[in-house]
Structure 1
Amino acid sequence: MAPLVRLPLVTDAASRVPAPTIVSRNRWRDVFDGTVPDDWEPTMTVSVIIPAFKSKTLEYTLASLAAQDYPEDLMEVVVLDDGGGEEPVELGEFIPKNTRLIRVHEVNDGWGRSNATDIGIKATTGDIIYWCDSDMILFRDNVRQHAKWGHFIPEAATIGEKAFIEEWDYTPEEVYNKVKAGTIGDDYDRSQLHEHWSKKIYRDTDDLNTSDGRNYSTHMGACATVTRAVYDRTFGQDTRLHLGEDTEIAYQLWQAGAVFIPAHDAIGYHMGPGTVQHQGQLVAWHNDVHFAQRMAIPRYRRKADNRIWEVPLIKVVTEVTQENARYARPSIDRILNNTQTDVHVVLVGPWSKLHDERRRMLADPMNELYLVKEWFRTDNRVIFAEETPQSVFPAPFRVDMPITAELSSESLQAMYVEMDKPWIGAIRYFTPGHDNDEAVTIWNSAVVERARAYVTDERSLEDVVAQIAGFEWHSSEAAQLADLRENEHLDEKVVRVDPETARLREQLREARPPHVPDSAARVVARSLNARTGGRAARIVRGVNRRLGGLPARAVRALRRRLSR
């Protein structure tokens, strides 16, 4: 691997400004460990969103919310009846002060938990959004234990503790009284109840401190919160989903800069088993198809290469002008021919100036732009844009590059690997023929989205990204970059060079002795093949196959010329 070069990006002015308290990576404990001052009182409003489908347990949930110790004037509850008018849910006698009921079928024709939740969130204004299922009994300080995190960490996304109870004989009144008295937790030994799968992840990641946010799937909608400031950076609930919608919005929250925190003191009983508890494999089989389209990480869900996914792993942003348009087609062809195929390209240019009116085609100084537009017209991996996008959300990685930079077939994969494994905030590559301010740069989107809120006149985006997850300079060799303007073969066909093919070529070159006559070469080849147990022959066949039979044809042609 090429040597790593680290250069500080903090300016003199920024270095004199105290760095704001920001969570680095997902290390929330470094900023706030959950211990509040003795005189602390909450000030943030909380909107509790409860979708309900013919629920028989909603009254227990509302009774437990009515008995919370969170200031009632800072909490609102919205119940979404998703039953389509059949078996309408009832709120019951014990409900929080600020409670509303919305019948979904009276608002829109949609259905399902995500659709109902979307309606509820849009109908509220709380500083903190609390997803709550209609089969939860929340302990007395549950809302307070969730909400405190948002007071100290602006990007907080908390996950509460669920204990699954299979049998109960409560009435709503008993739930209210027990929660109010703080004794509801005495009714079951939580150590004997079903342990949710997320607990193991917490143990393995130091309560997500070492997760870098990758374990976003632990943020589940039965009892979870996020600050509205982070939620508003997302696209919101994906109402097309009817299972797994909480995992999908958790992925969005991660890419929007959320900090995931297990709120172990925000305890509640889940009335009955969870969906995954008895149908885990079936649920995963169904959800993985939908998740693969929307979530580029983890990578195992995308079981096919050369596919176009709704949310790509990488978005490359580059700009074309009238002056450099001649480099656009070869540049983007090289991007799209990379071995990392999970890529979209945002091509920024003056596309609105192109028209269908009469013009002198060959004499038009903008003709090359017309040709670029036509060249990529049917490739929906290429997005034509008028302005450089501020964000590529929810794609996890963004590459900014000049149109005159040349990528090899392995460049994007090399950049992704260097960025992803240590989870760096950004890497800028020294780019041949280009100044440092136009060098190829790969950004970690989740880091960038968190950083934006802390950018000031004195502190640049690069500075804040560096503070959150590091900003590094790497050599051009590390990403196999070149100056496209120095390429004398721009008109040649762009061919993806698979790294395995290149490796086989090199092995074949090293295995074959130089300056051996053709007749003797066969003797040497047979001897070499025998000594290597047939390995040499396999290498030769592999190279020949990968190159479409070209080497074999070349050898035959050479023999014919030598035999004349």
Structure 2
Amino acid sequence: MPKPLTANPALSDVVYKNQWRDVFDGTLPEGWEPTLKVSVVTAAFNSKTLDLTLASLAAQDYPEHLLEVIVVDDGSDPAVEIGAYAPKNTRLIRVHEELGEGWGRSNALHIGIEASDGDIVYWVDSDMILFSDNVREHAKWAHFIPEAATIGHKGFVEEWDFTPEQVFDEVRSDEIRKHHDLATLHRHWSLDIFEETDDLNTSGGRNYSTHMGACATVTRSVYEHTFGQRPELKLGDDTEIAYQIWQRGAVFIPVMSAETYHLGRATVQDKGREVAHFNDVHFAQKMPIPRYRRAATNRSWEVPFVTAVVKVDAATAQVARRCVDMLLNQTETDLQILLVGPWSSLASGRRRVLADEDLELHLLREWFRCEGRVTMLDDDPDDVFPSPYRLDVPVTLGLGASALHEIMRDVYVNDLGVVSYFAPEGADQSAVLTIRPTQAYSRAMRYASETVTPIEALDAVWGVEWRSSKELGLLDLGTAEPVKKVTRGEGDLAVTELRDQLKKVRSQAENARKRARANRERAEAAEARAEALGIKRRVRSKVDRVARGLRRV
């Protein structure tokens, strides 16, 4: 899909979806030199190759004053020591699990990133050898695309006998490349995705799982708006942080020129099934996309696929109950509802409850008090990160049971930007139903300013569209017939009528049983008569044969 035309010149260099080539194709202007600082963060636990990784980093052609390396010792035994070959600006941080500082790769990286201050965060595993221009090839993208998240190219080397001194010398002289042809080594599955998506240009960022922490970067301006590395994750943390930066507007770029050796086989080569079995459960909780991870339906997850926002006040509280009930009744159940209203201002002391002007708000709060998919807030959060979609539902609209399913089949499947649906005929035309992708909102808000409106920015980064609501079965709750309330007298009458109907049904059932019993008895009698008649006929036939024989004699 082509990028929409924008009349605002301030948005001319904004990346549309993940189409990075339209802004920068990697060709550098003549005489260009980097200005952004890179923070390389490496977690090490009993690593036998860390010295080789640091030696390759020491031989980089990136400006020394713009490169820092943070090594986080995650409880190694013996403890990590920085050898002779390491970048000048290298710091060592030790994690003490016994002091409650946690453990695991993600926890160590979280500590390391928090201690760094570079403009670009670069994840590098402690079993990598980076070629001399690796850092430069990664970093150049952030100078032209502020949301750049780059993925390097690695070849898996299964046998080696490098020394730190050798690595330093050969990386600096570029002789390191001659040991192996990357094209002949194990082919990583991400290369197939790059081919299928034109180097992620057509992916919309959905292939975020290719952004793996062995050699990947993101700008700090994107990272700092995420929750950061999740210390509780013990595997797959690079995929989860990749999901977060996608939802924060990252532009994913494969950099095949940023080459490395990965010292050792790929994990998926030996333990792919076990790792997937472990990760799938954790990924399903935290990442609603891709959808196949959530095989179970009609249940709640840590991060909902869609977060619906309904705003309510004293005047609309009565219709809000029906609005929210209809949302909870959707066939698409991966949904969380934020009910925004003046909850903290409701009186809790002595009052005339039936004459309270906020009576309907009190009743509404009680109605959903135990509903796990409804959260009551005083203020609209606006940002629903990391949930990938926000659905704004006017309180006077009721959604047909399959409405959300139809919306997501259009918006999610076609990777649309902001989509608004016209109010149903006869309803207040300001009651507009709108769905908005979080990744589009996150990137757009980076460009919204006094000269750029939010809707202009949203249109530039993902597109803005309007749709008919006829297929959604929307109900105008402001004019719709209310649910009939039954008085006590009417209730007694209704109970009497139900009892009469029950007696009638029971009587009909008993009559049917009697008829069935009579039919069975008649059938059994008929069967007995038929059997008796058959015996009589057989005896008569035998007697006749005997009589004929006697006559012949």
TM-score (norm 1): 0.83
Partner of 2:142, secondary structure, is helix
Question: 2-side partners of 1:91 and 1:458: how far apart?
Answer: 50
Contact 1:447 1:469 in 2 (8 A): yes
Confirm or deny that 1:447 pairs with 2:440. yes
Q: Deviations over 1:478-535 (max 9, x none)?
A: 3322211121043589xxxxxxxxxxxxxxxxxxxxxxxxxxxxxxxxxxxxxxxxxx
Residues 281-430 of structure 1 correspond to what in structure 2 (within 5 A)?
Answer: 281-430=273-422
Q: Is the 8 A contact 1:17 1:458 kept in 2?
A: no
Residue in structure 2 matched with residue 462 of structure 1 by the alignment: 455
Residue type at the aligned position of 2:92: L
Q: Is the 1:66–1:97 Cα contact (8 Å) retained in structure 2?
A: yes
1:35 CA displacement: 0.8
Which of these residues, 171, 176, 180, is aligned with residue 179 of structure 1? 171
* Structure 1 position 460, deviation (Å): 1.9
Match of residue 93, structure 1, among 84, 105, 122? 84
Q: What SS is found at the alignment partner of 2:234?
A: coil
- Provide the C-alpha distance between the structure 2 equivalents of 1:174 and 1:241, rounded to a whole number of angstroms: 36
What corresponds to 1:513 in structure 2?
none
User: Which of residues 206, 210, 215 is equivalent to 2:207?
Assistant: 215
Name the CA distance, whole Å, in 2 between partners of 1:435 and 1:114: 50
- Taking only aligned residues, the RMSD between alpha carbons, in angstroms, comes to 2.1
CA contact (8 A) 1:476 1:482 kept: no
Question: Is the aligned partner of 1:236 residue 2:234?
Answer: no
Indicate the residue corresponding to 1:102 in structure 2: 93
1:483 corresponds to which residue? 476
Q: Quick one: structure 1 residues 41 and 108, their matched pair in 2 at CA, closer, same or farther if it must change by over 3 Å?
A: farther
Between the aligned residues of both structures, percent identity stands at 53
Task: Give the whole-Å Cα distance in 2 for the aligned partners of 1:261 and 1:438.
Answer: 40
Q: State which of 117, 121, 126 in structure 1 corresponds to 2:113.
A: 121
Amino acid at match of 2:450: D
TM-score in terms of structure 2 length: 0.85
Separation in 2 of the partners of 1:469 and 1:389? 21
> Map of 1:68-217 to 2, 5 A cutoff?
68-83=60-75, 86-105=77-96, 108-217=100-209
Between Structure 1 and Structure 2, how many residues are aligned?
487
Residues 254-289 of structure 1 deviation map (CA, whole Å, 9 limit, x = unaligned): 111111000111111000012122111111111000
State the SS of the aligned residue for 1:362: helix
Letter in 1 for 2:90: T
Unaligned segments of structure 2, at least 5 residues = 487-504, 513-553
Q: 1:117 to 1:437 in 2, by over 3 A?
A: farther
Q: Residue type matched to 1:80 in 2?
A: V
In the aligned structure 1, how far is the partner of 2:69 from the partner of 2:419?
Answer: 44
Q: Report the Cα distance in structure 2 between the residues aligned to 1:447 and 1:245, rounded to whole angstroms.
A: 23
Q: C-alpha displacement at 1:31, in angstroms?
A: 0.8
Amino acid at match of 1:424: L
Distance 1:253 1:385 in 2: 26
Per the TM alignment, residue 88 of structure 1 is displaced from its structure 2 partner at its CA by 1.0
* Distance in 2 of aligned mates of 1:214 and 1:201: 11
Judge conservation of contact 1:314–1:397 (CA < 8 Å) in 2.
yes
Deviations 1:91-134 (A, max 9, x none): 21101011100001177431101100000111111110000100
Moved more, 15-24 or 403-412: 15-24
The verdict on how the C-alpha distance between 1:46 and 1:440 changes in structure 2, with shifts beyond 3 A counting, is same
Larger radius of gyration, structure 1 or 2?
A: 2
1:159 is aligned with what amino acid? I
CA offset digits 1:395-437 (Å, max 9, x no partner): 1111012111111101111111111122111110001355555
